[in-house]
Chain A
């Protein structure tokens, strides 16, 4: 049975893993948010620790409501067991054009919640 697609509330935390190349000197680079469809994990189904992978230096939390204020849409996009990288019921995407200033605003609104 497929995972249900749910509405993500504004106060939900979305975990974004930060690649070690984008964490120079212990600071998150705005480059980490430069994806038209930025993959994140909804905290309802996956923890910050479990969001990290072997290349991660850190995990940050973005509030869904803050992303929406920055002209982004937040979509729950669970990955089914038979799909690559599946299953992941937490998988979600922050969608929209991310100009340089929007990337920096995302960076500045992000909270560091896990660090290697």
Chain B
């Protein structure tokens, strides 16, 4: 089915979103998308960098219409995820669809800005040699944790308020375990790469501040 696209302009930037039904259009919708959804500025595409939301349907398979603001945020995150593996995209899709109480209790749906940052980080790590996909699991407070495990080492990067909480576990030859912890700012990808390098065995010592 051909897909329609609607664009909005503000301050020389264009936000490209899938077609929005007239009934869904509310006043100040651009502000709502960028402010209430708490989208980082990088998600608002520059004028000369159009995106095509059809990538969602090809790469992710999300429902196309009708679109509310939350759906629009999903589209933007998924568009960014196109370069990731099919497994990662499937995980992100499933996470984006969790609703309130997905655990049978009080768990919150996943925040789209968190998924956006996860996509950015994974796209960046994806460029590293010998990259492997993490497991991505939802936390009860509406965020996610990425996990990598092998025989000797495991790495967890959890989205927390304002950044990432990073945990490493080293299993010694006598099966004893050593636990490491660190905090990292949300956009400090260089430091996050150091933790991934530790997991991958390229760094022998846990990266400390």
Binding between chains A and B: yes
Digit string of A17-30 for contact with B (CB within 8 Å is 1, else 0)?
Answer: 00101101101011
User: Is the C-beta of A71 less than 8 angstroms from some C-beta in chain B?
Assistant: no
Known A34-B140, A53-B104, A55-B103; contact A27-B169, beta-carbon cutoff 8 A: no
Contact-size category for A: 10 to 19
Size of the B side of the interface (Cβ < 8 Å), in residues, is 21
Known A19-B103, A21-B102, A105-B179; contact A100-B137, beta-carbon cutoff 8 A: no
Cα A35 to Cα B104 in complex, Å, equals: 14
A interface: dominant SS? helix
* Residues from chain B with Cβ under 8 Å of A105 in the complex: 179
Cα A113 to Cα B162 in complex, Å, equals: 37
B156 touches A104 (CB 8 A): yes
Report the minimum CB–CB distance from B41 to chain A (whole Å): 30
Report the minimum CB–CB distance from A85 to chain B (whole Å): 10
B interface: dominant SS? strand
Report the minimum CB–CB distance from A28 to chain B (whole Å): 10
A100 touches B177 (CB 8 A): no
A27 touches B140 (CB 8 A): no
A27 touches B179 (CB 8 A): no
A100 touches B135 (CB 8 A): no
* Residues from chain B with Cβ under 8 Å of A21 in the complex: 98, 102-103, 137-138
B179 touches A25 (CB 8 A): no
Known A25-B135, A31-B137; contact A108-B169, beta-carbon cutoff 8 A: yes
Q: Looking at A19, A55, A105, which has the most chain B CB atoms within 10 Å of its CB?
A: A19
* Residues from chain B with Cβ under 8 Å of A25 in the complex: 135, 149
List residues 159-209 of chain B with CB under 8 A from any CB of chain A: 165, 167, 169, 177, 179, 181
B residues contacting A by CB (< 8 A) are 98, 102-104, 135-140, 145, 147, 149, 156, 158, 165, 167, 169, 177, 179, 181
Can you give 28 A-B contacts (C-beta < 8 A)? Answer: A19-B104, A21-B98, A21-B102, A21-B137, A22-B137, A24-B135, A24-B147, A25-B135, A27-B135, A27-B149, A29-B135, A30-B156, A30-B167, A31-B137, A31-B138, A31-B140, A31-B145, A34-B139, A34-B140, A35-B140, A53-B104, A55-B103, A55-B104, A101-B179, A104-B156, A104-B169, A104-B179, A105-B179
